[in-house]
Structures are given as structure tokens and as C-alpha cells.
């Protein structure tokens, strides 16, 4: 009963480095998304996907790339890390085609990223 699994839990990067945050879900959810959570800013949507091969931008997409080659996985890539990307990143998923718009969102436990 894993749900949404995110790795790593913690990461420290230097400015300019790149990395990929991993997200996997075992609930066969079509919809997957990435959020960042910052103090005083709340949760903001970075990118989302409604199925394999389909991705779209959210509220704060700059500096991040995503791809969706399988239903289960939705990795988030930081191309060139900046201190402004220091945050806690959450992956979330839900059903999409069935009961559209009325399926609860399931979150992973987050990745705490620090960019120095």
C-alpha cells in the first residue's frame, strides 16, 4: 500500500547543479502533479500531467522540466539549480478520467531541497 513515493527525502545542491526528483505512484492514477511549498506562499503548482505523454505547465514552471513516459512515474528535473529553488517539493496524484474533478488528491511525503 505504498501510494505516492518520493525520493530522495533530502537533497543539498550547489548553484548550477542539476538533479531529478523522483515520484512514483502505484494507484494507476492518470493525473500527477508537482507542487512546491514555501513559508508564507503556500502550495504552488509547478507542472502536471493527465496521462502518459501529456504534460502541462502550472503556476511556477520556470527552471523545471517534466516528462511522463509511464502512468506510474513523473520525475521533476531541475536544469540549473538556483537558491530561489530552495523549497519542499511535493508530488501528488489522483484519478482523472473516472469521476473527473471529484477525486481526492494523494500526496507523497515530500523532498526537502536546499540550494547553496
The site for other proteins (CB under 8 A) is made up of 4, 40-43, 45, 48, 50, 56, 58, 90, 92, 100-110
- For residues 58 and 63, which CB has a smaller minimum distance to other proteins in the complex? 58
- For residues 62 and 102, which CB has a smaller minimum distance to other proteins in the complex? 102
- Least CB distance from residue 16 to other proteins, whole Å? 28
- Least CB distance from residue 116 to other proteins, whole Å? 21
- Least CB distance from residue 12 to other proteins, whole Å? 17
- For residues 50 and 82, which CB has a smaller minimum distance to other proteins in the complex? 50
SS (H, E, C) the chain: CCCEEEECCEEEECCCCCEEEEEEECCCCCEEEEEEEECCCEEEEEEEEEECCEEEECCCCCCEEECCCCCCECCEEECCCCHHHCEEEEEEEECCCCCCCCCCCEECCCEEEEEC
Amino acid at each position: 500500500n505504498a501510494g505516492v513515493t518520493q525520493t530522495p527525502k533530502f537533497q543539498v545542491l550547489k548553484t548550477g547543479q542539476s538533479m531529478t526528483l523522483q515520484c512514483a505512484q502505484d494507484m494507476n492514477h492518470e493525473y500527477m502533479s508537482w507542487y512546491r511549498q514555501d513559508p508564507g506562499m503556500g502550495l504552488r503548482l509547478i507542472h502536471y500531467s493527465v496521462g502518459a505523454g501529456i504534460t502541462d505547465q502550472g503556476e511556477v514552471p520556470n527552471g523545471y522540466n517534466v516528462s511522463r513516459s509511464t502512468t506510474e512515474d513523473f520525475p521533476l528535473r531541475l536544469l540549473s539549480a538556483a537558491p530561489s529553488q530552495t523549497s519542499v517539493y511535493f508530488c501528488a496524484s489522483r484519478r482523472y478520467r473516472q469521476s473527473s474533478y471529484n477525486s481526492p488528491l494523494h500526496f507523497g511525503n515530500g523532498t526537502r531541497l536546499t540550494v547553496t
